[in-house]
């Protein structure tokens, strides 16, 4: 009986902790696993702050820039960044405007061209001449735009990027208000279940749960609607700034690491009438992308893994990832 009451007390404390966790729009009270710095600049008549990590020797001759996905920000690159520093790299980890600890504007015209411009501006301010860019999920779409726009990128590594098909060709256009209502009504449980189903093949553990911490705090905070609005606005580039036409024009090596179980397909719930295509077939998409630029694109498939191979099976992921550097 005593053990039963102790268990109830522990569960109650855990639930209370989740309920009381509260973060502002810029995650001021959430500590990243690395020191966070600030790049201040002006864009679209706004004074903005891009937060970023700058790890490793500032005099290193090699630099890697790590670009986060839509549902995360720079904090989840910690393990990979640490290993790259051991390999002699200086590692830059930006939180894009609208994400993580960076500014969440009331209004901003989001595009991958704009985010790429902002990122290159940060890199230039750090006096970095050339670098490898790594993009995961949405960060992969941004990485392709960055490589297309900037002469400073010398290699692109994409980890389960979205954008390997032109979504707007198959799905209906949606107003940002549609995405805003979805975001503001999203619960922690729904967010967890989405990731559990789509990222981790129905499995879940404490490491996956830790990645939800920023969302939990935002959900309880006073700025959640502003965060949700920026999340809504950043869906625009995913549907409007396709990368299929850019990949053949990228003049540097592109390494494409794909967990082939991934089925991420933005917009599949509102496909155009008559469209029968199954979105997010990564076991097929990688091979189609390689055909677009066979001399530059190298495809590395991780069979049985999903959208987050670097978390789902780090041991398998590291064997193919670090040899690329």
Q: Residues 39-76: pLDDT tens digits?
A: 999 999 999 999 999 999 999 999 999 999 999 999 99
Q: Which residues lie closer than 8 Å to 13 by C-beta, 6 or more apart?
A: none
pTM: 0.93
| pLDDT at 20 (0 to 100) | 82
CB-CB contact of 213 with 74 (8 Å): no
| Architecture in CATH for domain 24-324 | 3-Layer(aba) Sandwich (3.40)
SS3 116: helix
Q: Which residues lie closer than 8 Å to 287 by C-beta, 6 or more apart?
A: 299
Q: How far apart are CA 91 and CA 88, in angstroms?
A: 9
Q: How far apart are CA 180 and CA 193, in angstroms?
A: 19
Domain boundaries, the chain: 24-324
Strand ranges across the sheet with 254-259: 36-43, 46-55, 89-94, 62-67, 131-136, 153-159, 254-259, 297-302
Q: Residues 179-199: pLDDT tens digits?
A: 999 999 999 999 999 999 999
Q: How far apart are CA 103 and CA 97, in angstroms?
A: 6
SS3 50: strand
Q: Residues 141-179: pLDDT tens digits?
A: 999 999 999 999 999 999 999 999 999 999 999 999 999
Q: Does the pLDDT of residue 134 top 60, yes or no?
A: yes
Q: Residues 71-111: pLDDT tens digits?
A: 999 999 999 999 999 999 999 999 999 999 999 999 999 99
* Closest among 100, 76, 104, 81 to 91, alpha carbons compared: 81
């Amino acid at each position: 009986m005593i053990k039963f009451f102790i268990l109830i007390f522990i569960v109650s404390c855990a639930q209370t902790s989740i309920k009381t966790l509260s973060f502002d729009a810029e995650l001021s009270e959430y500590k990243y696993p690395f020191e966070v710095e600030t790049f201040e600049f002006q864009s679209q008549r706004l004074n903005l702050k891009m937060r970023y990590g700058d790890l490793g020797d500032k005099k290193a001759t090699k630099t890697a820039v790590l670009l986060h996905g839509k549902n995360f920000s720079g904090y989840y690159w910690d393990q990979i960044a640490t290993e790259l520093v051991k390999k002699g790299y200086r590692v830059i980890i930006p939180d894009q405007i609208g994400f993580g600890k960076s500014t969440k504007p009331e209004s901003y015209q989001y595009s991958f061209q704009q985010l790429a411009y902002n990122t290159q501006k940060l890199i230039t301010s750090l006096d970095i001449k050339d670098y490898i860019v790594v993009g995961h999920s949405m960060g992969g779409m941004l990485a392709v735009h960055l490589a297309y726009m900037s002469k400073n990128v010398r290699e692109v590594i994409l980890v389960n990027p979205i954008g390997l098909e032109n979504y707007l060709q198959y799905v209906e256009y949606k107003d940002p208000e549609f995405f805003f209502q979805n975001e503001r009504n999203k619960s922690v449980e729904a967010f967890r279940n989405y990731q559990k189903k789509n990222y981790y093949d129905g499995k879940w553990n404490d490491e996956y749960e830790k990645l939800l911490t920023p969302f939990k705090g935002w959900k309880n905070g006073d700025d959640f609607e502003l965060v949700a609005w920026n999340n809504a606005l950043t869906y625009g580039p995913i549907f409007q700034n396709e990368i299929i036409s850019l990949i053949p024009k990228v003049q540097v090596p592109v390494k494409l690491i794909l967990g082939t179980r991934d089925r991420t397909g933005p917009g599949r719930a509102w496909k155009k009438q008559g469209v029968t295509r199954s979105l997010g077939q990564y076991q097929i998409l990688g091979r189609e992308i390689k055909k677009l630029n066979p001399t530059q694109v190298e495809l590395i498939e991780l069979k049985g893994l999903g959208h987050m191979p670097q978390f789902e099976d780090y041991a398998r992921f590291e064997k193919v990832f670090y040899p690329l550097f």
